[in-house]
Structure 1
Amino acid sequence: MSIASFKTSARRFGAGSLLAFAVAAAYAQGPAQRPAPTPAPAPTMSAEQWRQAAVADVEAAYLITLDDHPGTVDPANPDFARNLEKAREGGQALASRVRDGAGYAAALQHFNALLGDGRAGVVLKDMPPAAPRWPGFITAWRGDNMFVAATTPGGPAVGARIADCDGKPIAQLVETNVFGFGQRSGGTGPWWTFAPDVFIDQGNPFITLPVQCIFIDEGRESRLTLSWRAMDEAAQRLRDDSFNGVTQPIGVSTPRYGLHWFALPTFQPNDTERTAYGAMLAEVQANRQRYLDASAVVIDLRGNQGGDAVWGLNLARALWGEARVNRRLKVAQARQAVLWRASFANIAHTSFEAADLSEQQRRQLDYDPAVVAQGMLAAQSRDEKFYPDPARRDPVSDSDRAENLPGDPAPFTKPVYVVVPGQCTGACLEALDVFSLFPNTKLIGAPSAADSSYTDIRLEPLKSGLASVVVPSKVVVNRPRSAATFYTPAIVVNDVEWSQRAFLKAIEADLVRR
């Protein structure tokens, strides 16, 4: 399957998990937003064959993760090994009851939920287990509540708050029906992204769909019995827009005089988008004084789900100055290091990587796979679990800590507002790490996701051919932002419609207060 398929399935078929985003970001070369591919037909299998596949795949996912994932021997993360055992037990409990493809998918997603790491678990192939259904309305999670974001005739009013369904608070229903079948990183960001999937039916046989819900609109309470029907593409687009709003293409615009808006909806650009990034960065470099004189700059990350952090880094360098950004990063990451998990499969994978790379590809890496493979092998021979990356960092000097040095461009001190979406993870979080190094930056939008410290992902196909196991080869240690840390915006935008207009209103109000 293509990585774009993971991503599209996660967005459009409600995976309830950041895993597909994280894996897609680690691999994808194409655009972040694509039309949904034609789903491959589900394999023709008997109920017993589906059960056997689920049981075998949960066990294989457990064993591969146990042997090769750095988390199982990470002294800084003792919960990982315990959660892996829970994932095996819980996954097998559901796998034994599987009768069809939807049940298979749910059992594997439950394994992911119990494992609870954004870069561990199982990724399903592009085989939606069932045609998704909806009750005729789309919701949005804002703050601590769920609201109607879009509706069909006869449905609840847009903006109405959903209090409960079938006597259960809506948050409890989300925990059970959504987050029980897909990982969520720490914090409330994933709620903004995935909680609305409580009203998307994927045929999961292990949950009970809501039947009757209470809606509160302008103080008036009403009850609605839900009528589930097939989702069309228009409904799926409404679902996407419920947490990101309508995003803008890569580039810079000026919504009003003196306020400049940079749109960075993807860090996984295709050729056309790479050209757009080049044009945007060239414009900033050629006209930097325009931004030094601005009343405010907005960096819009809506739609962004990671990829290559260089795109955000390059914009930061163009605005604040390359040497200034590089110094601050060096100080912030002075203790950061990488450890490679020295297992048989990881050594073999790295050795094959070394043999298959062209010279040009090798130069693009920040490590030599042949050196790493030999180092991992030597570590294993000493019964050591990790091989420390041999890269050496220069010590931090007094000049590295200087705010400004001779030769630096003029300081960029005008207000910068960074729009944060709830699904911001991977390279999107790395961009926030960089932007937040400067005191003129203020975050606006939703809480971000948190981010696993495991990286350098490969996929190990399972024997069934229905899914693959996510296997990172290394762990980043002493990262300034821990695996449990997420960004909380200074300005939370709880408008149901996440439009540019809504953000501009909040930004203009904040500029007045400044």
Structure 2
Amino acid sequence: MTTLVRAIAPIAVLFAAFSAPASSTLAQDGGHSAAEQSEQGATDWADVARRDVLAAYDAYVRNHPGIYDLANPGFPAQLSQARTRGLEAASRAQDRRGYARALAEFSAVLQDGHAVLAVRSNDAEDTVPVWPGFIAVWRGDSLFVRTQDRAAPLYGARFVSCDGEQIDAFLRDRLVTQYFRPDEAGQWWVRPMQLFYAHAGLQDSQPRSCTFALPDGSRAQETLDWQPLTEAEEKWRSFGFWGDREPTALSEKRDGIFFIGLQDFALDEDVGTDFAALYDDVRDRRDELKRAKALVLDLRRNNGGNSRWSRQLADILWGEDAVGARTASSEDVLWRTSPDNTAHIASVEDEFRANGDIEVADFIHRLAEGMRAAHERGEVFFAESTLGAEPGEEPASATANPETDFDTPVYVIVSGNCASACLDALDYFTPFENVTLIGAPSSADSTYMDVRVEDLPAGPGYVVIPNKVYVGRKRAWGEVYRAAIEMTDLDWLTGTFLDWIERDLDEK
């Protein structure tokens, strides 16, 4: 049943860096259009922020599974601390920027990408994105400059400080409004980029000057020259940070080295069509893949979505029984049975039924009915394991054959934003001895998943609320995956990864 429920992707709206442009999901620290400037003085932003912080706290008390999570008895106190910190920031709010800061301070206490308060974008049509002429990339334990021109003086320079603050402290402070979770190693690899780009014009959080350690050993203090991006620079910025955008398809990139792009786990018709074609191709060419030098699975850019895409691919490659024998993910899944949570689950049934996904639609129907009945009995949780269970039925992993005939070396490219369903993919892939992770450490999840969104009543913010909690999940709260081969090159192009992989194969 756990596999089935992971298929309910439309109810899992995932929030993390670069899953979408920052302006469309997460509040930038300020920035007002000319039209909005006039309303700033008429709005009591401190009161608006206070009311929304209190409303978010109430929404979590009524709906968040952590309130009754026996494995996390400190959550209610943590939530109270979030409210206190949010209210402290709210009392200082004088504009939309201060409002956004109050919501971000609340979220910073929870440190959970599936439980955040955020602000609707206020980008205006007359604003243009700006940057200082470079992107910032984290490699190892430091932040570096990457420019389009490799001959530029700052190419490869290491950040020492910005605006007079040592770079680590600077990032921790300025990235609060970008929902930075500094305890997760992968977050350092993706979040700093946001401070060196502003979608709606230069913001207060963006640095004005930085000190760099240059490749020749000297140091330079530079006043950053913020300029509008051209369309070509905008495209390079994404390409320069993430590398190539690879399609969801099987290809042979180099002699005997096959490659599958897994950068998009969204649940929509186009993605589904791509994966259906991929599965057919992998099945048809599986014998060829068994004789290959290596297979590369590319999760760059992947921030989550639907776990079924990676599970089905793993089943085809290693065998369904072999995957099942290795990936029992949790003892159970408990759904918080609040009326709002139940109504939300029930609301997505029609969408799946209309799309012809009858199995999932039927599951959602039974789940919603089970949640509703549990609530009427006064129970705060509904156990997913009770759905359709037969007396004496054993989980598939208890009887599955763990043997597999697929032993081709597999390299999985991981970027720092890998979370949620992307982490599920690593749960499926990494139990096999022929798998090597290459790239960056991942981000992490809590045990609270499958979220929905509620608008806050007073201001332009919204609250993201998880609906369920995993009980006894093998991957712990906050646990990241670390790459066996950490990519320290500034260049994350596909060809660079293939060079590293070929060197690793030669050494084996």
TM-score (norm 1): 0.83
User: What is the CA–CA distance in structure 2 between the aligned matches of 1:104 and 1:419, rounded to whole Å?
Assistant: 38
Are 1:46 and 2:40 an aligned pair? yes
TM-aligned CA deviation for residue 355 of structure 1: 8.8
Please name the residue that 2:289 is paired with: 291
Structure 1 residues 357, 139: closer, same or farther in 2, change over 3 A?
A: closer
Q: Which segment is superposed worse, 289-298 or 448-457?
A: 448-457
Deviation at 1:3, TM superposition (A): 10
Question: Which runs of structure 2 are paired with 1:63-462 in the superposition (5 Å)?
Answer: 63-128=58-123, 132-150=129-147, 156-179=153-176, 181-184=178-181, 186-201=183-198, 207=205, 209-268=207-266, 270-329=268-327, 332-333=328-329, 335-350=330-345, 358=353, 363-365=359-361, 367-369=363-365, 372-379=368-375, 381-382=377-378, 384-389=379-384, 390-391=386-387, 392=389, 394-395=393-394, 400=399, 402-404=401-403, 411-462=405-456
Is the 1:215–1:223 Cα contact (8 Å) retained in structure 2?
A: no
Whole-angstrom distance in 2 between the partners of 1:50 and 1:10: 32
Quickly say closer, same or farther: Cα 1:311–1:378, change in 2 above 3 A: closer
- Do the aligned residues in 1 keep the contact of 2:14 with 2:114 (CA within 8 Å)? no
Aligned-partner SS, 1:472: strand
Question: 7-16 vs 478-487, which deviates more?
Answer: 7-16
Secondary structure of 2:411's counterpart equals strand
CA contact (8 A) 2:24 2:121 kept: no
- Mark the CA change 1:248 to 1:173 in structure 2 (over 3 Å): closer, same or farther: same
Equivalent residues, number? 485
Counterpart in 2 of 1:36?
none
Question: In 2, distance between residues paired with 1:178 and 1:235?
Answer: 23
Q: Secondary structure at the match of 1:247?
A: coil
Q: Distance in 1 between matches of 2:19 and 2:155?
A: 25
Contact 1:140 1:192 survives alignment (8 Å): yes
Contact 1:95 1:104 in 2 (8 A): yes
Contact 1:50-1:101 within 8 A present in 2 as well: no
Q: In the alignment, is residue 463 of structure 1 matched against residue 463 of structure 2?
A: no
Deviation per residue, 1:43-95 (Å, 9 max, x gap): 96233515032222122111111221112222222343233222222222222
- Residues 289/381 of structure 1: CA separation in 2 closer, same or farther (3 Å cut): closer
Cα separation, partners in 2 of 1:178 and 1:156, compared to 1, 3 Å = farther
TM-score calculated relative to the size of structure 2: 0.84
- The structure-2 alpha-carbon separation of the partners of 1:368 and 1:403, relative to structure 1 and needing over 3 Å to count, comes to closer
Kept after mapping to 1: 8 A contact 2:195/2:206: no
Which residue pairs with 2:503 in the alignment? 509
Unaligned runs of 5+ residues in structure 1 are: 21-38, 405-409
Mean Cα deviation higher: 308-317 or 86-95: 86-95
CA deviations over 1:185-226 (Å, ceiling 9, x no partner): 742101111122233357898758343423322322222122
SS in 2 for 1:274: helix
Please tell me the root mean square deviation across aligned C-alpha atoms, in Å: 3.5
1:291 Cα offset (Å): 0.5
Name the residue aligned to 1:12. Answer: 21
In 2, the alpha carbon distance for the partners of 1:250 and 1:465 equals 40
SS at match of 1:139: strand
The range that moved more, 415-424 or 350-359, is 350-359
My pick for the range that moved more, 207-216 or 264-273, is: 207-216
Counterpart CA distance in 2 for 1:401 and 1:3 is 29
Displacement, 1:134? Answer: 2.6
2:8 aligned residue: none
Amino acid in the other structure paired with 1:111: F
Amino acid at match of 1:278: A
- More displaced stretch, 365-374 vs 469-478: 365-374
Q: CA deviation at 1:366?
A: 6.9
Letter of the 1:403 counterpart: P
Contact residue 209 and residue 221 of structure 2 kept, 8 A: no
Relative to structure 1, the CA distance from residue 199 to residue 50 in structure 2 (aligned partners, 3 Å threshold; closer, same or farther) is farther
Aligned partner of residue 432 in structure 2, secondary structure: coil
Aligned-pair identity (%): 33
| Cα-to-partner distance string for 1:408-433 (whole Å, 9 max, x where unaligned) | xx701011000011101111111110
Equivalents in 1 of 2:162, 2:397: separation in Å? 60
Matched, 1:62 2:61: no
Contact map agreement 1:68 1:345 (CA 8 A) in 2: yes
CA distance in 1, matches of 2:349, 2:19: 32
1:367 aligned counterpart, secondary structure:
helix
Is the Cα–Cα contact under 8 Å of residues 136 and 146 in structure 2 kept in the other structure? yes
Specify the alignment match of 2:490 in structure 1: 496
- Maintained 8 Å contact 2:332/2:471: yes
Q: What SS class does the counterpart of residue 412 from structure 1 fall into?
A: coil
Q: Quick check: 2:119–2:461 contact (8 Å CA) kept in 1?
A: yes
Deviation at residue 259 of structure 1 after TM alignment: 0.7
Q: Secondary structure at the match of 1:118?
A: coil
Mapped to 2, the partners of 1:412 and 1:40 lie a distance apart of: 60
Distance 1:3 1:482, change over 3 A: closer
